[in-house]
Amino acid sequence: MDDLAAPAPASVGFTYTVAASQTLGLAVILVVGAWMGVYRGGFAWESPELQFNAHPLCMIVGMVFLQGDALLVYRIFRNESKRSTKILHGLLHALALVIALVGLIAVFEYHKKKSFPNMYSLHSWCGIAAFSFYLLQWLLGLVFFLCPGVSFSVRSRYKPQHVFFGVFLLVLSIATALLGILELLLFKIRDSYSSLVPEGVLANVLGLLLVAFGAALAYILTRDGWRRTPLAEEQALSMDFKTLTGGESPAGSP
Amino acid sequence: MDDLAAPAPASVGFTYTVAASQTLGLAVILVVGAWMGVYRGGFAWESPELQFNAHPLCMIVGMVFLQGDALLVYRIFRNESKRSTKILHGLLHALALVIALVGLIAVFEYHKKKSFPNMYSLHSWCGIAAFSFYLLQWLLGLVFFLCPGVSFSVRSRYKPQHVFFGVFLLVLSIATALLGILELLLFKIRDSYSSLVPEGVLANVLGLLLVAFGAALAYILTRDGWRRTPLAEEQALSMDFKTLTGGESPAGSP
């Protein structure tokens, strides 16, 4: 039991990859902020043009950075209790949803004020699908993993689906962000984009940074050796449950 | 040994998911063909406008459908020998690369004939990155897994990277295809796209089908229970090697 009680140290590869992912995530937020601030006039909720600028920033902070980091909490806080980590995971996703909702309101209000049509482009179709399924995934996660009445057996059957769709929705959100970048560039600087003007290059770099952030997160999440292992007390609890229930273990839930 | 010698039957869930993925893949090819054929004038290598139309078709057949199916061969042909499966995997990727190269020549020749600039858009940046890294991944795969001089230990260390980057490149290729769809729509039907004209809706549906094809493949490739298990003769060979080399096993290579 002494061996089990010692916290599992994070490997050097894991630490560097997490550091790289966070650097990329912060770079993504800085670059989208700089793009909107320097080339698109900044942010102001009351002005239609500047209200739109909250859309890219909020969607990237919510649907990419916070959604992505919420997936990492089980890997990063591997020595905290399962319950605390689970609550942090749910709260980060809730914050992501609220910030993304502000971003959605910004674009729909902007369209309304300017009498622009809604929901015709591939960006909007992918975006509304990503947001709706993300909300559904959050609600299902709440029911399956935080409601006390759900059995461990049901939880452990749903868990692999929850994990797969979590990574899928992050990837879909990043693909939607790439579509949004290209759509905005072709609406705003269509004629000068092909001359590699600074705004076009900055926005393309933002796209590549988003791809790199997604790749780093997907890499961390798919390494078998970097998965969270149950803590000593969870191991002991798991053994008690195995004895009591004939195989079902609470350590199997995310 | 009798148990090991019996071919492992595929589960019903696996069979249905593979059938769904192939239906989606064929639907993607039919829809891109219909889009180019019905709305963009069809295909002809000598005419600049129609030469361009080979670009979306070839890139989707090569960089999405064939690249994706090449990843599935270890799962689908689980009862064939490792060597045959490996050669099929390499050949499908080689065919994908050749078809994608034809698609790249089509768009560069079209740009040259029309004096359009190259390599400025996010679609082109992501596309050239995906194609270059795909070629590199193919060459590394050839060296590590088909050259006889490489040790099993080196192969088994490289294998998880090869598998991760294989799925990453498929996802990047699909994201690039989505960018290409949106770019073409905003170049060709910018004014009518917002009225949900049939061409715009068809192309958006193509985008959603591409996302669904990618999701089905990623789901199949990430199910632990659907991984290829070594055949009886590979198990036996593996045991011999373990005895001889103290742990290195030829069954560990992809």
Helix (H) and strand (E) counts for chain B? Answer: 11, 0
In a domain, A170, yes or no: yes
Share of chain B above pLDDT 90, in %: 84
In a domain, A41, yes or no: yes
**Are A175 and B172 an interchain contact pair (Cβ–Cβ within 8 Å)?**
no
Nearest chain A residue to B181 by CA distance is A122
In a domain, A6, yes or no: no
**Are A125 and B171 an interchain contact pair (Cβ–Cβ within 8 Å)?**
no
> Looking at residue B238, what is its pLDDT?
57
Return the amino acid letter for B42: G
In a domain, A5, yes or no: no
In a domain, A122, yes or no: yes
- Asked if A94 reaches chain B (Cβ–Cβ under 8 Å), the answer is no
Cβ atoms B122, A196 nearer than 8 A: no
| Displacement of CA A226 from its chain's centroid (Å) | 19
Question: Which residues in chain B have their CB less than 8 angstroms from residue A208's CB?
Answer: 125-126, 129
Residue from the list B120, B175, B223 with its beta carbon closest to the beta carbon of A194: B120
What is the distance in angstroms between the Cα of B88 and the nearest Cα belonging to chain A? Answer: 26
Rounded Cα–Cα distance for residues B104 and B137 (Å) = 18
What is the distance in angstroms between the Cα of A113 and the nearest Cα belonging to chain B? Answer: 17
Residue from the list A116, A168, A200 with its beta carbon closest to the beta carbon of B218: A168
| Displacement of CA A61 from its chain's centroid (Å) | 9
> Looking at residue B153, what is its pLDDT?
95
> Looking at residue B14, what is its pLDDT?
97
Cβ atoms A131, A177 nearer than 8 A: no
Residue A180 belongs to domain spanning: 12-252
Question: Which residues in chain A have their CB less than 8 angstroms from residue B125's CB?
Answer: 204, 207-208
In a domain, A191, yes or no: yes
Candidates B8, B77, B25; CA nearest to B232 is: B8
Tens of each residue's pLDDT in chain A, 254 residues = 344 445 566 799 999 999 999 999 999 999 999 999 999 999 999 998 899 999 999 999 999 999 999 999 999 999 999 999 999 999 999 999 999 999 999 999 999 999 999 999 999 999 999 999 999 999 999 999 999 999 999 999 999 999 999 999 999 999 999 999 999 999 999 999 999 999 999 999 999 999 999 999 999 999 999 999 888 878 776 555 444 444 444 444 44
Nearest chain B residue to A162 by CA distance is B219
Collect all residues with Cβ–Cβ distance below 8 Å to B54 and sequence separation of at least 6: B43, B45, B102, B103, B106
**Are B175 and A117 an interchain contact pair (Cβ–Cβ within 8 Å)?**
no
pLDDT tens, B47-79?
988 999 999 999 999 999 999 999 999 999 999
Question: Which residues in chain A have their CB less than 8 angstroms from residue B177's CB?
Answer: none
Structural domains in chain B (count) = 1
**Are B182 and A121 an interchain contact pair (Cβ–Cβ within 8 Å)?**
yes
- Asked if B183 reaches chain A (Cβ–Cβ under 8 Å), the answer is yes
The CATH number of the domain holding residue B21 is: 1.20.120.1770
Interface predicted TM-score of the whole assembly (ipTM), two decimals: 0.93
Task: Return the residue in B64, B120, B195 with the most chain A beta carbons within 10 A, the one to mutate for interface testing.
Answer: B120
> Looking at residue B239, what is its pLDDT?
55
- Asked if A132 reaches chain B (Cβ–Cβ under 8 Å), the answer is no
What is the distance in angstroms between the Cα of B186 and the nearest Cα belonging to chain A? Answer: 7
> Looking at residue A246, what is its pLDDT?
41
User: What are the structure tokens assigned to A111, written together?
Assistant: 């369209």
Rounded Cα–Cα distance for residues A251 and A234 (Å) = 6
Collect all residues with Cβ–Cβ distance below 8 Å to B150 and sequence separation of at least 6: B143, B144
- Asked if A13 reaches chain B (Cβ–Cβ under 8 Å), the answer is no
Q: DSSP H helical segments within chain A, as ranges? A: 2-5, 12-34, 48-52, 54-59, 67-76, 82-114, 122-141, 152-188, 190-193, 198-222, 232-245
pLDDT tens, B147-160?
999 999 999 999 99
> Looking at residue A229, what is its pLDDT?
87
Rounded Cα–Cα distance for residues B161 and A14 (Å) = 14
- Give me the residues of B, 207-246, that contact A with CB < 8 A: 207-208, 211, 215, 218-219, 222-223
In a domain, A7, yes or no: no
In a domain, A181, yes or no: yes
With a cut of 70, which residues of chain B have pLDDT below it? 1-9, 237-254
- Asked if A115 reaches chain B (Cβ–Cβ under 8 Å), the answer is no
Cβ atoms B207, B178 nearer than 8 A: yes
| Residue pointed to by tokens 């919510």 | A62
Rounded Cα–Cα distance for residues B43 and B54 (Å) = 6
